[in-house]
Homo-oligomer: A and B are copies of this chain.
């Protein structure tokens, strides 16, 4: 997938209209591995890193807590009408990985983030995914 990410013009292969449907959500209150209360928090640093990586192409937002404190530094990838993903075990420098994930998500046609092409951090770090209501199966 990596080769597909680079067009001859160096532009993203994903239309900006698609990218606008994806949001990177970073838990800004997450601490680093020492558990320090120092500011800026590791989560706030990751949020800033993701914002810089996104360069305005993808929305980056923060939230106070994703409830994933056992897996430390956390972020979510959301796309309207698609599955929602939570990742943990990130670092303050995982912004570029989140952007790669966001672009894969934007190009997806089945509502899922493809496994192939995902940065390792978004494979090993998967914490949970939640389906959109219209992909659920009711019990007979």
Contact = CB atoms under 8 A, between A and B. Distances in A.
Contact of A136 (B23, B84, B135, B139): B23
B59 A138 contact: yes
B23 A128 contact: no
Interface string A24-60: 0100000000000000000000011001000000011
Interface residues of A, number: 33
Contacts of A133: 23, 78, 80
Contacts of A15: none
Contacts of A25: 130-131, 136
A87 to B, nearest CB: 9
A47 B139 contact: yes
